[in-house]
Amino acid sequence: MNKDLNKVILRFTISLVLLISLNLYNTSYSFGEVNKLDILIQNQEKQEELKEKINELDNILESKNQDLKVENGQYVSSDDSKSLEVVTISFVPQEYETSKIDEISSEIVALEENRNILDKELQDAIIEGVQLEKIIEEEVKAKLKSENIEFVTGIWPLNDYKDISSGYGYRIHPITNVKSFHKGIDIPAPQDTDVLAIDDGIVSFSGYQNGYGNVVKIKHFDGKTTVYAHNNSNVVKKGDIVKQGDVISKVGTTGNSTGNHVHFEIIINEKNINPIEGVIK
Question: Alpha-carbon distance 247 to 222, whole Å?
Answer: 20
- Confirm if 151 and 224 have CB atoms less than 8 A apart: yes
pLDDT value, residue 176: 85
Nearest to 253 by CA among 206, 198, 189, 203: 189
pLDDT value, residue 184: 97
What is the architecture of the domain spanning 154-280?
Distorted Sandwich (2.70)
Question: What pTM value is reported for the model?
Answer: 0.77
pLDDT tens sequence across 140-181: 999 999 999 999 999 999 999 999 999 999 998 888 889 999
pLDDT value, residue 77: 53
Question: Alpha-carbon distance 219 to 162, whole Å?
Answer: 24
Helix (H) or strand (E) holding 186: strand 185-188
Sequence letter at residue 146: S
Domain residue ranges in the chain: 2-147, 154-280
Dihedral angle, C-alpha 38, 42, 48, 54, nearest 10 °:
-160
Nearest to 58 by CA among 124, 121, 118, 10: 118
How much is the CA Rg of the chain, to the nearest whole Å? 28
Low-confidence ranges of the chain (pLDDT < 70): 1-34, 74-97
Nearest to 201 by CA among 246, 232, 159: 246
Nearest to 240 by CA among 29, 26, 45, 28: 45
- Confirm if 199 and 179 have CB atoms less than 8 A apart: no
Nearest to 236 by CA among 262, 266, 268, 214: 214
- Confirm if 249 and 195 have CB atoms less than 8 A apart: yes
